[in-house]
Every structure is written in structure tokens, then in C-alpha cells.
Amino acid sequence: MTDSPQPFYITTAISYPNAAPHIGHAYEAITADAIARFRKLQGHDVRLQTGTDEHGLKMAQAARDRGREVAEYAQEMTSLFKTMCDAYNIGYDRFIRTTEADNHRAATALWQAMEANGDLYLDRYEGWYSVRDEAYYDESELVVADSGEKLSPQGTAVEWTAEESWFFRLSNYQQRLIDLFDTKPDFILPASRMNEVRRFVEGGLRDLSVSRTSFDWGVPVPGSDGHVMYVWVDALTNYITGLGYPDEHGLFDRFWPHCMHNIGKDIVRFHAVYWPAFLMSAGIAVPDTVFGHGFVLHRGEKMSKSTGNVIDPMTLLDRYGADQIRYFLLREIGFGSDGSASEEAIVTRCNADLANNLGNLAQRSLSMIAKNCDGRVPADAAPDPADEALLAAIAKAHDEAAARMKDYALNQALESIWEAASAANQYFADQAPWALRKTDPARADSVLYTTAEAVRRLAILTRWAIPTGADLLLDQLGVGADARDFAALDCRLAVGTQLPPPQGVFPRLQLVEGEG
């Protein structure tokens, strides 16, 4: 059983396109897409948004270092992120860019609402700023490197900044944020992230500098010449821009605040402290959930350009396939925790689960139907309790997966489904339809029918994780596009349906020599 249909809006963090995307960007988009697809398969009203964050000093400096106009550079680099999303079958409803006119309009409206509430004032900022993080840090937050250099908590360089600035009265929202955490314990997930944010807020909040005058690559502050908004103001606004804000009808009324922000754990503070405070100030409801996922590590080590261990998601896709990388990341990494990737691990996992398990089951059973049943779905003429036991195991896997996805346990949901796939392989081996063909043809047909039905259900259950391969399996089973969601799990293949010639969907992978 599925829940009654509900609106669900999921967003990724919008990526800084100051450099090419890495596997962490792909992971975030893939996990958001997988969650969105699962909800759609349940029959919910779902919207997915991703995009790029193109303003700020970091982008301006990246363009300048390359001798490029920043707008031209932003356009070129953004295309790399959109290409990556398209290649990995990210089914976004909007790919948003913060430089677009409607985001300027929305950010301006949000600013004016905060100003009308008395939460903005002009003063002078002096303090530490990390260009890479686009974040301000107190002296107490800094760490000192062995060289004596002061660094941010993320280990990035900081510089002393002094300039006239508009400030947001963040200090006024300390108790309101604590009350939010108390009344919505699932506002920040996993729970460990909530604990971190609560400690930060309870430690006291200082007013936040929300404009810059040292560069002009940003959204102009209304009525304040020479000031552009702090990049995080217009960046965070993108989530409501994509729903039509400041028009609060249509998409906004339909989806907000039924929203999950899927973001990296390093930017939880911006989304769980600054963003809800901005929204409260503007009189807008806060989103349902901020989920801070972990990092994708390379062989257990954090990726860094300086060490040369950054994983290129497009190279992986070219070598092993989009579904294969999607499956590996979703299955191997506990959502919310750090996880490690390597090409050997990708090949091992995908060969075991996709090629040898689900793919092998489909290829063997459909090839037997093509050869022995004139390529038509055979009759279930001699049923046996083992048949229903297998289909019951798949139904149980569906229930378990749905329960685990409520807790965003993506890898555990896949584990349940693959336990059912293994049960289907064991059933096929135990029933041995190739032997039954000689001794009990009617029973052989029933086994082939049940196996094909199992493949159909498993394909539907995996569409959220491996959409291309799952749909290819359903194509080979003659399943129409309108019968591929979870509501169709209780249906059955129509006996006599003519099936297309079977083809392998998940070939065995070979490790590219010298890689891994």
C-alpha cells in the first residue's frame, strides 16, 4: 500500500560552476532524483529542482583568473553541470540559474520583505571571510595551520574584510530557531546534523553581513547604490524562485513548504539557520526538511585537486554507464554518511547485482520464452505454492523499501529489493524449467510465467534507481508506459502477449586497465 498522494518538492544545492563538476555533484543530483522518482512511483505530486549558483566573489575571481568575462564564463561552466545532469537521467522539472531575471526579481522581493520587517540595517563589516566557502567566520571558529596561517573550519583560506555592509538581524531569530528545532525534530536530518546546528544556535547568533561593495557580480540591493546581495541571499532564494515567488499562487501554493533540501553536510548552517531566519523575516513558511548528506570519498580519502584524486563523473559514465554509477552510489553509500568510491568497487558491485543477478535472471528467462513459447507470455497452467511464495517475497520487498525510503535509507531500500531478486534467481534455479520442459511442459510454462512476472515487478521496483535499464526490461516484457508505477505491481502479465526479442540489459563490466 502507498500513502495518499501528497505534494513533494525536492531540491539540490545549486552548484558553484567555478570548476567542472565532480562525483559529489553527481551524487547529490542522483540521490535527489532517486527520491523524487520513488515518490512519483508511489503516485505523489513531485517536483525536482537543481541548477547553478553563479554570483559571488568566487565566480568573479575564477573568471578573472582565466581572463574571461564572468557572465560568459558562468554560461560555459553551467553547461557542464546541465550536461552531467542530463547524462545521469536527472529528471529535473527546472534547472535554475541564479543569474536569471526571475531569481533577481525573487531575491529583490525577499530583501524588501525582510527590510519591511525591520530586519536589515546599514553598518560596517570587519572580519574574516572565506572566498571559497562564500562564508563569514568568527575568530573563534578559525583553525591555525602548521604554517601559522588562519583557515576556516573547512580548511579554506580566509581573508580580513572591511567594508560598508547591510546586516540582517540574525540575533533576533535565535529563540525562534530553537523553537523550530523543538517543534519540528525532523527539520534537520540526519539527527547528528540537528545536534550540530542546535549547538551553534544555542551558542549565540550574531547579525549577518548580507551585502558586499568590493565587487558588483551579484543582485543589486534595492535602493542602495554600490551594494550587491551576499551571494547566499540570492542563492537560497532560488528554491522559491523556481515556484514562482513572489507570486504565491500556482506552483508556490502547490508545493511550498512541502520541501526537502538535499544538500552537502558542509552547507547545513546556511540552509538550517540563515535560510529559515530569512523566511521567517519575510513571513514565509520554512521548508519541511533540510537533509545534509555526506561526502563521496576516493578510496576513503577526501577528494582534492591538490592531491589529484578528484573523480570525474563523466569519465565514470563513459566507462561504466549511467545506471551502473547511479546504482553503485545509491547502494554503497548510506545516505547521510560519508562513503567511498573506486572503479574496482563499481565493477564488483555492478557485476554482482546488475549483471549476474537481475540482468542474468531476465536474460535467461526471456530467452527461454523466446525459444520455447514462440516469444509469447506463456500460460500459468500448472501453478505451485513456490510461485506465490516468490511473488509474496517481492511484495514484502516493496513494503520494506517503502518503509526505508520514508527514513531516506536509500541503500537499505535497494538491499531489500535485491534480496527479492536473489530469491527469484534461487527460484529459477530450483524449479529448473529447462528440465521441466522435457518432463512437465505445463509446469515449465508456469515457472517461466512466474519468473517473467517477477522480473516485471523487480523492474518496476528499481525504476527509481536504474531508470534506463528498468525501462528496457519492461519494454521486453511488453509493459506499457502507463503500467510502470507501484500501483501496477498488483497486476499480472497478460498471457499470450507477444514479446520482442530479448537482449541483455546489464552487461558485465570490465575494469579499465590502469584505473580504479
Query: How many Å apart are CA 14 and CA 50, to the nearest integer?
Result: 6
Q: What is the DSSP letter of 161?
A: E
One domain for residues 227 and 353: no
* Within-domain flag for 500: no
* Within-domain flag for 2: no
pLDDT for res 478: 97
Residues of the chain below pLDDT 70? 1-4, 303-308, 513-516
Q: Could you report the per-residue pLDDT of 356-396, keeping only the tens digit for each? A: 999 999 999 999 999 999 999 999 999 999 999 999 999 99
One domain for residues 148 and 270: yes
pLDDT for res 304: 67
Q: Which of 148, 142, 147, 112 is nearest to 130 (CA)?
A: 142
- Give the contacts of 302 (CB within 8 A, at least 6 positions apart): 295
* Within-domain flag for 121: yes
- Partnered with residue 144 across adjacent β-strands are 150
pLDDT for res 159: 85
CB atoms within 10 A of CB 514: 6
Cell of 104: 533577481
Q: Which structural domain, as residue segments, surrounds residue 264?
A: 7-293
* Within-domain flag for 171: yes
Q: Are 463 and 470 in contact (CB under 8 A)?
A: yes
* Within-domain flag for 299: no
One domain for residues 353 and 461: yes
Q: What is the DSSP letter of 267?
A: G
One domain for residues 223 and 362: no
Q: Could you report the per-residue pLDDT of 127-174, keeping only the tens digit for each? A: 788 877 777 788 888 888 888 888 988 788 888 888 899 999 999 999
Query: How many Å apart are CA 274 and CA 230, to the nearest integer?
Result: 12
One domain for residues 348 and 286: no
CB contact burial 79-97 (16+ within 10 A = b; e otherwise): ebbbebbeebbbebebbbb
Percentage of the chain exceeding pLDDT 70: 97
* Within-domain flag for 48: yes
Tally the domains of the chain.
Answer: 2
One domain for residues 52 and 174: yes
One domain for residues 283 and 352: no
One domain for residues 284 and 348: no
pLDDT for res 307: 63
* Within-domain flag for 481: yes
387: CATH:
1.10.730.10
* Within-domain flag for 97: yes
pLDDT for res 3: 52
One domain for residues 288 and 355: no
Query: How many Å apart are CA 98 and CA 131, to the nearest integer?
Result: 18
